[in-house]
Structure 1
Amino acid sequence: MAALAAADTPAPLGPAETAETAELSRALSRLLPGLETDSKLGRRRALEALQRELEAVQPGPSDAAGAAAFQGPWTRLLLPRLLRCLADPAEGCRALATHLLDLGLRRAARPHDALPHLLPALAARLAGSEVSMRPPAEPCEELRLALVQLLRLAVSLGGTALAPYLDDAVRVLRCTLLDPFAAVRRESCACATALARATPDHFHMQSESLVGPLMQTIAHQHWKVRVAVIEATGTVIQFGSGKSVDDVLSHLAQRLFDDVAQVRQAVTTVVGSWLLELRDRYSFFHKLIPLLLSSLDDELPEIRQSAAGLWEQIGQQWQKENEDDLKDKLDFATLPPPHYPLQENRPGLGCRELVFRNLSKILPGLCQDLTDWVVGTRVKAAQLLAVLLLHAEDHTTQHLELVLRALQHACADEEAAVVSSCTKSAELIGTFVSPEVFLKFTLSPLRKSPSASSLRVLAAVLRGCPREALQPHLSAVAMELAKAHICQASENKLYLEHLLLCVQALMAGGQEDCSTCSLPLLQVLLAILAISGTADLDRKVHETVGSLAELEGSDGPQDIYRKHMAALMEWVMASHGNWTVYSPELAQFCVLVSQTGPAVGEALHYVIPTLRTCLQPTRDPQMRLKLLSLLSKVLLRAQETVDSQGQLHAYLETLVTDILIPNLQWHAGRTAAAIRTAAVAALWALVSSGTLSAEQILEVQGALMPQMVTTLEEDSQMTRMLSCRIINLFLQTAGNRSEPEKLVKIYPELLKRLDDVSNEVRIAAAGTLTTWLKCVRNDDSKSSYQSTIQYLYKELLVYLDDPEPAIQDVVLEVLKEGSVLFPEILVQETEAVLHKHRSPAHCEQLLKHLQALVVAH
């Protein structure tokens, strides 16, 4: 302040000073004493008077004489006192002083002459003791903003003359960049930019000290501050030290995730300018290129266009700077690969070369980002990888192992955007890399440890591969997928969906060439059907089978199954001697038998022996239950399935003797009971399907009738009901050919079923008794049945008084049917119980029927 005190006394005018200067000096001298008064009001009035004086005579833009006349009084009289007023206790006085300093700097002919006094004064008010971290001496935020604006004015007016005072300016900015007032921070960023541009030869020595405060401010809550910091950082680094690039890259990368588009645009612009203009840009290409290329996938079209334009300029500039190195490639430009993605524009040579030459430095960090715990980072990394691979083209081959390993991990991500971008990257690998190479790295993980993500990557590279390149490898890939360790590796739906994607990708890439590998592809589809258990996936598989049939030239799914039925059966049956209910081959066999329609009728020589082996009583009970249910299912539609060729009768003895009868044998336990129920259901499906002639039914009746009489006692209602129906059918078929001694053994068991807990079983038993009576009526030796029939009449008459009307009705029909045998006996028995019934209505109906019958005879 000694310099300021020495300047208080007006110096005599020099000979060069004009009359205008002398007049201004005298006017100011009259007002200056008021600045020294102890009265705040007096100082304020003096400052206001000075303001009026300076604003009254403002020079024009070309008024050099007026500016020269103002320079002397400004420097000798006004500047020292105004600088002292910056520390005035009154806020209003400080504000007026700041305004007057602004006016003075703008009016003076040599504003840089004020810098030796102005910069230390501003540093004192705004920076204070930076080491102590105390708040600045100026407490008013509006005044701090005005002082920073004053500093910016001094920088713009001082230019290179500011270099000796760079320390003070930087010290001010280090503090104001962290000011609590957002407007001060924004103005400080603009000031830092101006300072860097004003002192390009000296700024690099101080630039690093501004990087720290800028990075502390880059995440400010006001987006305009963030934009200002990013723009200032761009200039500070541009005119400063290249070493600071590493200090700011991570912060700039974070701003690419900013919710405000202007912030992301600022990052794009700054990074693009560095790649074009930074002195040491070649050293930082591998760090800056990922930031710029990330903006190519920004959600805002304007940012994408800006990034694309900058990237094109960068590529052209680099290409021009390295023309000698690229001479051969420029002279003999290669055409785009024949199967270049249609939706993409091929980048220029310079852009492609830049990526290729820096790819080895970019990829390790990028692949690590694909596993980052932050979702946004993974999404950006996945998007960037696709952009890089589009530029790298066949140069990707050199880094294929690293990239595919990263993709296989990333394709298991829960974030759909990550998976989508990684799938696109895998498709690009298929487009640009030879199948001999990428199959080596995609099939190897599947052999070691199959996973859904590995299958997804394989499907994507296959989709991207051109047909002519893929054709020699179709069979090898299809056979690999059909191996048990892949197609049977998991029941997870996602795994099966991705396995299906691989088949579809092979079909899409191979087209008609897939006819050479349709069998292994069909094996994979069959394996998926056997495991899936979900309707939507089953539908997709059936559609794929239809598409495969079309590619092969078959007439639909049934035809392609028919062509390959023998091979499929041999593939499935290879281990049938060791099957359990959990064997995947069992599920595949069930799908083959149930889904292939008429084709299974041509493969009975495989199906029946397999059933015979697997349905022996010593085998897994759960497996037997499943196969018997399958047998029932296909026998119900026998003419459309197992008997489509009319050959089922040739296996009838095996079917009955070796398959059904062993499973009808009684064994203790619920599972055994369930097996007997399934066997009875299969037998009913067989005899009721209409595929067997009466003679064929008679062939098996002798062996099966005793079993059916036994199963009438089963705990299962379904078993009892079906047994009644089967016996009924057997009796209908036999007619008068039934042997009397065998007939007599049947009716007592049927009578027991009239007391069944299930009305359905009781009705079925009554219907069977009706058929039994018809068999007796047609027998020439019916007289030998008299005692049996009399006993049957007595038992049936009891049920004419049953609590269930339906049972009364059906028993009445049975008695009417049997009345023709011995009507007199039935009349006697009916009259004997008539008075015992709660309601004689049914007995009276029966008697009327008997009277009519006697009259008729």
Structure 2
Amino acid sequence: MAAMAAGDEHAASEVLRGLARHLNCLNEDNKSTRKRALELIKRETVDKGLSSSVLQEVFSALLKSLLKCLSDPMERCRETAITVITEFIRCVPKPEESLPYLMPCLAQRLGEKEILEPAEELRLSAVEMLTLSVEVCGKHLAPYLNEMMNILQRTIGDPFPDVKRESCKCAVKFAECVPEHFHMQAESLVKPLMQTISHQHSRVRVSVIEATGAVIQHGTGKNMDDVLSHLAQRLFDDSPQVRKAVTVVVGDWLLHMRDRYSYFHKLIPLLLSSITDEIPEIRFLAADLWKQAGAQWEKENEDDIKDKMDFLLTPPPFYPAGVERPGLGCRELVVRNLGRLVPAITHDLTDWLVPTRVRTSQLLSVLLLHTEDHSTQHLQPLLATLYQACTDTEKEVVSNCLAAAKLLGTFVPPVVFLKLLLDHVTTPSSSSHPWTPLMVLAAVLGGCPKPLLKPHLEQIANTLAQPDVCQEYQQVMYLEQLLACVDVLLHQCDSDCGSVSLQVLQVLITVQSLSTEPHLIEKALESAQLLCKVQGLDSRMELYRQHMGQLLDWLAASVNTWSSYSPQRLQLNIIVIQSGPVIGEFVSQLMPLLRCSLQSDKDPEMRMSIFTMLAKLLLDATNTLDSQGHFREESEKFLCNVLLPNLVWRAGRTAAAVRTSALSCLLALLHGGAITPGQLLCLEEKLIPLVLSALDEDSQMGRLLACRSLSTTVRLIGTSLHPEALNKIYPELLKRLDDSSEEVRSVALQALGLWLTSLTKDYNPEFCTPHLQFLFQQLLLHLDDPDSSVQEQVLEVLKKGSLVHPTLLRREVEAVRDQQRSPLYCDQLLQHISSLPTETTAE
């Protein structure tokens, strides 16, 4: 051995003797000389394949000179010097002997406030040399903790991305080499790492995350809070490799960090967030790490959970199908930290960044799947969080939170969640978003198993049917959620919904009455059809027949307080229109409702809307109100007690509008056949004066309806009227021949034609000659109307008049023939009179 050592010393002396001149040249001013000298030193040493012991001797002798070259003005010289030193460190058996000289030099070059090495590539080579030193020197670097930390603080923030990455790699290796010393200054690297963690290069971000993992793992743990928010942001990174790095680091902390129990509540959300990552590899990695963490915790706390073991291993009833139940350790980890996790979830669900809210909403479902029925004790804050999240503009956040709400329905007993939820539905805390409790209720009910939900069906349906719930708000969103709750009940409980059929129908009627959106009305009708189906009913008519009495009682309870703003008048409209012929079976119950709501002192707008509704029904009376012939029995009272009082003249435009709507209802009653001529005749003394009065209405529509109503009345009972009653009608109709509306004039002429044809033998033409003479004279004036269509219509009316008193008419025509602009129509009329049978003319 001594001989070998002597031989190595001799060989080393020979090499050094040969390098003496080159070493001297390193001090020359000529940069080319220095460069050539360094290259020759490299060729004669590391390139020559000398034995390790010889290299060690040579390296010790050359080190100071080579380190001096690290500050050479010439970049090529510095590069060669770094290369030579790196190769020596790699090859010598005791590289740690160089540390007393190497570390101060590198600390000066790289660890000062201003990095002295200007060349990026050379800084990279220098840091790579430092990494190599860590690898080969290991624990020998412990005395140089300050120098290492100074260098890494600067180089982690280096402008050159590759230097950042190499520095992170170096930090990881250094932490692993001297953990018992590293922790004393680990926190000094946190700030530069966090400043670099969002670097634009994904590979740099990955390196920073890996370094952060080592720094926290081998540090004191005090800086955990400083890094967690940054790591959480990286879970939204566009690069899957970055997200994977976070997953690995967090999983490693959960498994190996000394003080991990103190940080479970902060680490669990990060790892569980990766379980919902879009990349399968990351999801599987996170799930595997989580299983390991749960199994490890289970093993470490075996004594603590021994008593619960059997109970906790049995899956709860109605567990979601197709979902793998997390292990016992995983569930216990979440359960024991849920109290600290819920506030964090609540906070992050209101974050201004959409990706944060989306990922948090996904995490909520994962947590609830772990906590199972333990979420019951946190139900109040969880519901408040869900209400808030349901107002999010991002649809994915809302759908994720509703999925979480469904899990609450699966695991929390209905008696518990209904107590809170139904209170919130009845009195929503948010006036701007009152629909959120309904939205959450629908989701929770959707997750609740049918056998558990059935006993509470009536309580739920009664709440939904409360006026404060189903009639209070008209927002589309609110009504949609109301329908969603109904739909969930129908789908979840199907045939059991027969017990709450009335309440469900009331809700569906209310939604239709309040909504102006076609899609909502259609959805409500579909739900009504489903309600029929679950009860085995053939149609909606059957459904209404089943509940019509109760529905009318429901409306009657509040009829005295109805106004134009009352939803009940709209509900009445839906009920009577949609029930079709069924309403005819309940006329005796409907009529008091109509009489009360249509009293002349009631809200005018409400009366107008009800009259409009009745007009539609009365036009098709045989298929609606009079389907059973019962309305005909009531029609006389209806006309006398309801319609006629609303035809009495009152001042004001609103009163006029009410009269117009009442006239439309009267016309529909007369046309639809729901009143007999005999019943009409009994009321003619009350009816006809009011209709005649309406012929002077300011509104064209009012005059038109009055004309038509009078025309129909004359058609129905004209032949039965007393001559005196008849003689009161025609003068008012004649006035309408000068109406500003061509349509009113036309209808008035039709009415006069009907009046003339209704004159029977009881109407003595000779006795009534003054009336007929006045009528003929007025009609002859209009026979000269500028409008030829009016002339032709008047001619037809006068032809009917010729059958009543032809002699009088001939005389009147002859008297005015020469005064008219054209005798054409007079001649036609005279010709028509001449063509009449002799006995008629003689009369």
- Do they fold alike, i.e. is TM over 0.5? yes
Name the structure 1 match of 2:476: 493
- Distance in structure 2 (CA, Å) of the matches to 1:505 and 1:74: 82
Name the structure 1 match of 2:687: 704
Please list the CA deviations of residues 355-408 of structure 1 after superposition, one character each: whole Å capped at 9, or x if unmatched: 112212212222232233433333222221111001111111121222122222
Q: Quick check: 2:276–2:362 contact (8 Å CA) kept in 1?
A: yes
Q: Quick check: 2:95–2:137 contact (8 Å CA) kept in 1?
A: yes
Which residue, 30, 42, 53 being the options, matches 2:44? 53
- Distance in structure 2 (CA, Å) of the matches to 1:49 and 1:798: 135
- Distance in structure 2 (CA, Å) of the matches to 1:366 and 1:425: 12
Name the structure 2 match of 1:512: 495
Which residue, 831, 839, 846 being the options, matches 2:814? 831
Give the counterpart letter for 2:382 in structure 1.
Answer: V
Which residue, 728, 737, 741 being the options, matches 1:754? 737
Quote how far apart the aligned CAs of 1:301 are. Answer: 2.9
Give the counterpart letter for 1:576 in structure 2.
Answer: V
Question: Residues 571-582 of structure 1: matches in 2 within 5 Å?
Answer: 571-582=554-565
Name the structure 2 match of 1:556: 539
Q: Quick check: 2:46–2:88 contact (8 Å CA) kept in 1?
A: no
Which residue, 658, 663, 668 being the options, matches 2:651? 668
- Distance in structure 1 (CA, Å) of the matches to 2:164 and 2:106: 16
SS in 2 for 1:341: coil
Name the structure 2 match of 1:431: 410
Which residue, 436, 446, 451 being the options, matches 2:425? 446
Give the counterpart letter for 1:31 in structure 2.
Answer: H
Q: Quick check: 1:75–1:114 contact (8 Å CA) kept in 2?
A: yes
Name the structure 1 match of 2:832: 849
Name the structure 2 match of 1:37: 28
Which residue, 91, 100, 108 being the options, matches 2:92? 108
- Distance in structure 1 (CA, Å) of the matches to 2:322 and 2:688: 73
- Distance in structure 1 (CA, Å) of the matches to 2:510 and 2:805: 64
Name the structure 1 match of 2:54: 69
Q: Quick check: 2:636–2:675 contact (8 Å CA) kept in 1?
A: no
- Unpaired runs of 5+ in structure 1? 1-12, 60-65, 129-133
Quote how far apart the aligned CAs of 1:791 are. Answer: 2.5
SS in 1 for 2:728: helix
Name the structure 1 match of 2:108: 124
TM-score, normalising length from structure 1? Answer: 0.94
Quote how far apart the aligned CAs of 1:583 are. Answer: 1.9
- The 1:737–1:441 alpha-carbon spacing in structure 2 relative to 1, beyond 3 Å, is closer
Range with greater deviation from structure 2 (30-39 or 409-418): 409-418
Please list the CA deviations of residues 16-48 of structure 1 after superposition, one character each: whole Å capped at 9, or x if unmatched: 535432332222223111101122222112112
Range with greater deviation from structure 2 (293-302 or 751-760): 293-302
Q: Quick check: 2:487–2:527 contact (8 Å CA) kept in 1?
A: yes
Q: Quick check: 1:735–1:778 contact (8 Å CA) kept in 2?
A: no
Which residue, 205, 209, 212 being the options, matches 2:188? 209
Q: Quick check: 1:85–1:94 contact (8 Å CA) kept in 2?
A: yes
- Distance in structure 2 (CA, Å) of the matches to 1:486 and 1:551: 24
- The 1:302–1:702 alpha-carbon spacing in structure 2 relative to 1, beyond 3 Å, is farther
State whether structure 2 residue 759 is matched by structure 1 residue 768: no
Name the structure 2 match of 1:658: 641
Q: Quick check: 2:614–2:665 contact (8 Å CA) kept in 1?
A: yes
- Distance in structure 2 (CA, Å) of the matches to 1:686 and 1:314: 80
Quote how far apart the aligned CAs of 1:244 are. Answer: 2.6
- Distance in structure 1 (CA, Å) of the matches to 2:497 and 2:611: 36
Name the structure 1 match of 2:210: 231
- Distance in structure 1 (CA, Å) of the matches to 2:415 and 2:527: 26
Q: Quick check: 1:17–1:69 contact (8 Å CA) kept in 2?
A: yes
Range with greater deviation from structure 2 (46-55 or 400-409): 46-55
Which residue, 172, 184, 188 being the options, matches 2:163? 184
Give the counterpart letter for 1:105 in structure 2.
Answer: I
Which residue, 507, 522, 525 being the options, matches 1:524? 507
Which residue, 18, 25, 28 being the options, matches 1:27? 18
State whether structure 2 residue 74 is matched by structure 1 residue 96: no
Give the counterpart letter for 1:106 in structure 2.
Answer: R
- Distance in structure 2 (CA, Å) of the matches to 1:549 and 1:383: 37
Name the structure 2 match of 1:256: 235
Quote how far apart the aligned CAs of 1:299 are. Answer: 2.8
Name the structure 2 match of 1:469: 452
- Unpaired runs of 5+ in structure 2? none
- Distance in structure 1 (CA, Å) of the matches to 2:77 and 2:9: 31
Which residue, 67, 80, 100 being the options, matches 1:83? 67
SS in 2 for 1:297: coil
- Distance in structure 2 (CA, Å) of the matches to 1:575 and 1:25: 114
Aligned residues: 833
Quote how far apart the aligned CAs of 1:475 are. Answer: 0.6
- Distance in structure 1 (CA, Å) of the matches to 2:439 and 2:120: 59
Please list the CA deviations of residues 758-798 of structure 1 after superposition, one character each: whole Å capped at 9, or x if unmatched: 11111111111111111225545233233322322222122
Give the counterpart letter for 2:111 in structure 1.
Answer: A
Name the structure 2 match of 1:346: 325
Give the counterpart letter for 2:697 in structure 1.
Answer: E
Name the structure 2 match of 1:62: none
State whether structure 2 residue 364 is matched by structure 1 residue 385: yes
Name the structure 2 match of 1:371: 350
Name the structure 2 match of 1:407: 386
Give the counterpart letter for 1:153 in structure 2.
Answer: L
Q: Percent identity?
A: 49
Please list the CA deviations of residues 655-699 of structure 1 after superposition, one character each: whole Å capped at 9, or x if unmatched: 111111110000111000000000100000111012333323333
SS in 2 for 1:511: helix
SS in 2 for 1:603: helix
- Distance in structure 1 (CA, Å) of the matches to 2:535 and 2:545: 13
SS in 1 for 2:835: helix
Name the structure 2 match of 1:10: none
- Distance in structure 2 (CA, Å) of the matches to 1:181 and 1:417: 39
Which residue, 326, 334, 337 being the options, matches 1:355? 334
- Distance in structure 1 (CA, Å) of the matches to 2:311 and 2:360: 34
Quote how far apart the aligned CAs of 1:230 are. Answer: 0.4
Range with greater deviation from structure 2 (235-244 or 684-693): 235-244
Give the counterpart letter for 1:240 in structure 2.
Answer: G
- Distance in structure 2 (CA, Å) of the matches to 1:733 and 1:598: 25
- Distance in structure 2 (CA, Å) of the matches to 1:272 and 1:264: 12
Name the structure 2 match of 1:690: 673
Give the counterpart letter for 1:391 in structure 2.
Answer: H
Give the counterpart letter for 2:119 in structure 1.
Answer: C
- Distance in structure 2 (CA, Å) of the matches to 1:300 and 1:15: 63
Give the counterpart letter for 1:194 in structure 2.
Answer: K
SS in 2 for 1:512: helix
SS in 2 for 1:139: coil
- Distance in structure 2 (CA, Å) of the matches to 1:489 and 1:343: 40
SS in 2 for 1:117: helix
Please list the CA deviations of residues 700-728 of structure 1 after superposition, one character each: whole Å capped at 9, or x if unmatched: 33321111111111112222222222222
* Aligned-pair Cα RMSD in Å: 2.0
Quote how far apart the aligned CAs of 1:821 are. Answer: 2.4
